[in-house]
Amino acid sequence: MDGESAKEENAVDNSISSSSGGQHAHEPQGNRDNEFGSGSAIRRRPGRPRKRRDSISSRRPTRKGRNIQNKRCRLEKTEGTILSWLIDVKMVNENQTVYYMDGTSKKEIKEGAIQRDGILCACCSKVFNVLDFERHAGGELHQPYKNIVTDESTRSILSFMKEAWDRIEEAGIQTPEDIMPKRNAAAAANDDGYDDACIICADGGNLICCKLCSSTYHGDCMEVKPEDDWLCAYCVCKFCAEPCKTDDYLICCFQCERRYHWECFQEKNPEPINLNSPSTPFCEQNCKEVYRKLEKMLGVKHELSEGFSWTLLRRMDPDFGVSLSDSYQITECHSKLTIAKYLIEECFDPIIDRYTQINTVHNVVYNCKSTYNRVNFRGFYAVILEKGDEVITAATLRYKIEIII
């Protein structure tokens, strides 16, 4: 990994952890390695080598700088549409004949041909985006991908979208158990199970280890001096700051992912909760309200002026506590999420985590969970800006409670 890529990795890692870590990212190694002294009983481990931080004047030309013109050219030639994606993954063919079918009678109403930027109508030789093609055919269901079928198999475009997404899930989306350190046999034999970088600043060096989980920290990134058998914030109750008792367990909040004792929750929130519900429990009312509002926004196209619109996206999975009941909306959401990933990957160099070897951009966009808290991206969403059917820009984000109103 070149110098610029390393800096990009650090920037991404910082964005998924506490913002307080940024002020420590450039401190000398000695400050962290010797802060507590060699006599401390705190669990420690040597992390990855620290990143080399070159001065601005000595930096060499970066790969990103050399290739930015080529990337811009590729983006200009690629339509960020669902139809273009299906053509690229060879699910459908360009210029393939399709028909808009009446949702009730299943009668062919309008003929067209697949283009990367829409459907070329056979009757007027105009290219329409899929929703306009549905309107042109007299349809009002607002589910064009379901009612546009191919001439060869009479399969709907929606079915091709679902099959393409299933292939992505099978081949490229990792479960928490899949995200493990990638080391050679000698290193694996000596692996202690802890992460090799600070969860706050994503740098290596002399790290302090949590007693119960794989998280590691620099002492000065925490801005506190931990005691023996130190526990991180993920392993203690957010209300009383105590760990799990021998005959109890900590409940994890679906929104903020902080854990808490049931007794502590009851003291602050006397209302009963259903622990068997897939959308509960929440640690506080604020988390519950944020979760509900985000769920209502998911997959909904919000129209703007001049034909622009924006949509909040997320990978839908019952295990993640966020789901839509409309299968059409889920499939469309997943398809656009894949286009967002391609668009982001076109604009940035690959960011490969050195410890787990995961593709960071891939896992962030698909909000992949991990047992390693530093690379746990479960809380991420993607937002896209569209012009008609084309995704023209995309971003990843995590919501904070204060900005949901």
Query: Above pLDDT 90, what percent of the chain?
Result: 29
Residues 22 and 48 in one domain: yes
Q: Work out the burial of residue 17: count CB atoms within 10 Å of its CB; fewer than 13 is exposed, 13-18 middle, 19 or more buried.
A: middle
Is 175 part of any domain?
no
Amino acid (one-letter) located at 246: T
pLDDT for the residue numbered 129: 94
Domain that holds residue 220: 3-52+184-284
Provide the domain count of the chain. Answer: 3
CATH number at residue 130: 3.10.390
pLDDT score recorded for residue 32: 35
Q: Are residues 393 and 302 in the same domain?
A: yes
Which regions of the chain are under pLDDT 70? Answer: 1-78, 171-172, 174-178, 180-191, 224, 226-228, 246-247, 271-280, 317-325, 400-405
Token couple for 274: 């259903």
Residue 392 maps to a domain: yes
- Per-residue pLDDT of 205-222, as tens digits, reads 888 888 888 898 888 887
Between the alpha carbon of residue 319 and those of residues 168, 205, 367, the distances in Å are 18, 35, 12
- Is residue 176 a part of any domain in this protein? no
Question: pLDDT value at position 277?
Answer: 58
Q: Are residues 292 and 266 in the same domain?
A: no
Element (H, E) at 392: strand 390-397
Decide if 137 is inside a domain: yes
Based on the domain organization, do 113 and 162 belong to the same domain? yes
pLDDT tens readout for residues 98-114: 999 987 777 889 999 99
- Cross-strand bridge partners of residue 97: 113
Interval 352-402: pLDDT, tens: 888 888 888 999 999 888 888 888 888 899 999 999 899 999 999 987 654
120 vs 98, 136, 227, CA distance in Å? 10, 11, 69
**Domain identity same for 326 and 385:** yes
Among candidate residues 263, 293, 249, 282, the one with its CA nearest the CA of residue 399: 293
Residue at 292 is within a domain: yes
pLDDT attached to residue 126: 96
Do 358 and 297 have their domain in common? yes
- The whole-number pLDDT of residue 346 equals 87
Q: What pLDDT score does 28 carry?
A: 33
Does the predicted model carry a pTM greater than 0.95? Answer: no
Which tokens go with 291? 């979760």
Give the three-class secondary structure for 322.
Answer: strand
Other CB atoms within a 10 A radius of the CB of residue 20 amount to 12
